Amino acid sequence: MQRICLFPGTFDPITLGHVDVIERAVKLFDKLVIGVGINSSKQPMFSLEQRTTWIEQVFKNDSRIVVTGYEGLTVDYCREIDASFILRGIRYVSDFEYEKAIADMNRMLMPDIETIFLTCSPLYSTISSTLVRDVIRNGGNAAMFMPKEVKF
């Protein structure tokens, strides 16, 4: 049985912190699905198509990584793609508290799906998509926070 993991997120845009977590996590699984979620409570800056294209370009040389868009409950999407694991990146203790609440809810909904937490490398711990979007909205150069494939 393949060890399939879903890394869900909005990736609006993908940052070097995301890339760090993905590059370390892919070694743990047979297949890593990066699920670009459509979240009704968030209004993304970049389209789903743009976000998935960027991620596909970043990881184009790794056949273990698949990029898809999805909508709805993450655990339902795990079932759809036969994923037994959910990956979440953690930067700070506050991230853990929020992510643990989601992981606990997911465990109650689907007890056989495990959530795996990976901490971000210290070099990238201050980078978030929210801060990157703020830099972009205000005309700043955010290139140092994103993979070179992210161009707009």
Q: What is the per-residue pLDDT across 46-94, written as a single tens digit (0 to 9) for each? A: 999 999 999 999 999 999 999 999 999 999 999 999 999 999 999 988 8
| CB proximity list for 88: less than 8 A, separation 6 or greater | 7, 99, 102, 103, 115, 116, 117, 118
Residue that is written with structure tokens 């709805």 in the block = 72
pLDDT band (50, 70, 90) for residue 23:
very high
Select which of 51, 88, 128, 129 is catalytic. Answer: 129
**Topology of the domain covering 4-142:** Rossmann fold (3.40.50)
Select which of 51, 88, 91, 128 is catalytic. Answer: 91
pTM: 0.95
**Could you tell me the residue ranges of all domains in the chain?**
4-142
Determine whether 18 is an active site residue. Answer: yes
